[in-house]
Amino acid sequence: MNHLFTYTLRLADNALVLGQRLSEWTGHGPFLEEDLALTNIALDTFGTATSLMEYAAKVEDKGRDADALAYRRNEREFTNILLVEQANGDYAKTILRQVLVDAYNVLFYTELAKSKDETIAGIAQKAIKEVSYHYRHSSSWVIRFGDGTEESHNKIQDALNELWRFTGELFEQDETELTLIKQGIAVDSKAFQSKWEKQLDELFAKATIKKPETVFMQTGGRKGIHTEHLGYMLSEMQVLPRMLPDAKW
């Protein structure tokens, strides 16, 4: 098993699926400024996805390029975590999904930039500044929703209740991770789990919202077992390259 390929593809899938979800807001944002803000974040995320996908293709070395990986794999072959594929819902839900990922990504990419794999370290280095800004954007919105009106408070609290059960996967480790952590290539995400939780607890306190207390953490994304949302998203994302293979425009 090619652990480096598996690992790189997981990271690429996370970025690609999240980028696709965010881009669904383009032209539908709550107002012009926010529409552009989210589109910017989607673009940053696609940029990271592209770099990672290209590297995954290179590492695999089986003649598949980044486009083949993005557009010609089925749902069961996608290895992203379940959190990023969750439907956008209302703006509060999109923002809450984003803050969970952004807080994680700041810590994750900071560590990944120290990877012994130079390409991965380079991609991570570039991503750090971007995800730091994404966190600033999403966290300020969480507070704004939380201590805003009763309606906005309820919306962000509902989003947290619904999405928290997908956060367990952020810290899962299997043979691929453990092998690559030993080699100094992958990030030991468990090492910063408590820091991530503390940071979010502080944010949620400011936003006057609460994490659900007993939650059964969902899992499966990295094995290709997805929620029903991913299939619909992929069919929209892949329709053109599937209908007109190798089309150029």
Partner 1 sequence: MSDSQGPIWEVFVQKKAGQPFVHCGSLHAFDKEMALQNARDLYTRRNEGMSLWVVPSAAITASSPEDIGSFFEPANDKVYRHPTFYQIPDAIGHM
Question: Where do contacts with partner 1 occur on this chain (CB under 8 A)?
Answer: 31-34, 36-37, 40, 133, 136-137, 140, 144
Nearest C-alpha neighbor of 106 from the set 170, 24, 38, 157? 170
What is the nearest approach in angstroms of partner 1 to the Cβ of residue 141? 8
* 31 versus 249: smaller Cβ distance to partner 1: 31
What is the nearest approach in angstroms of partner 1 to the Cβ of residue 41? 9
Nearest C-alpha neighbor of 17 from the set 104, 72, 78? 78
* 34 versus 67: smaller Cβ distance to partner 1: 34
What is the nearest approach in angstroms of partner 1 to the Cβ of residue 137? 6
| Tokens, residue 174 | 């299997």
The whole-angstrom separation of Cα 100 and Cα 32 is: 24
What is the nearest approach in angstroms of partner 1 to the Cβ of residue 211? 24
Q: How many CB atoms lie within 10 A of CB 133?
A: 16
* 205 versus 215: smaller Cβ distance to partner 1: 205
* 90 versus 174: smaller Cβ distance to partner 1: 90
Contacts of 23 (CB under 8 A, 6+ apart): 39, 42, 46
What is the nearest approach in angstroms of partner 1 to the Cβ of residue 191? 30
| Tokens, residue 86 | 């969750």
* 140 versus 219: smaller Cβ distance to partner 1: 140
**DSSP codes of every residue in 16-28:** HHHHHHHHTTTTT
Cα(first)–Cα(last) distance of the chain, in Å? 36
Which residue shows structure tokens 């919306």? 155
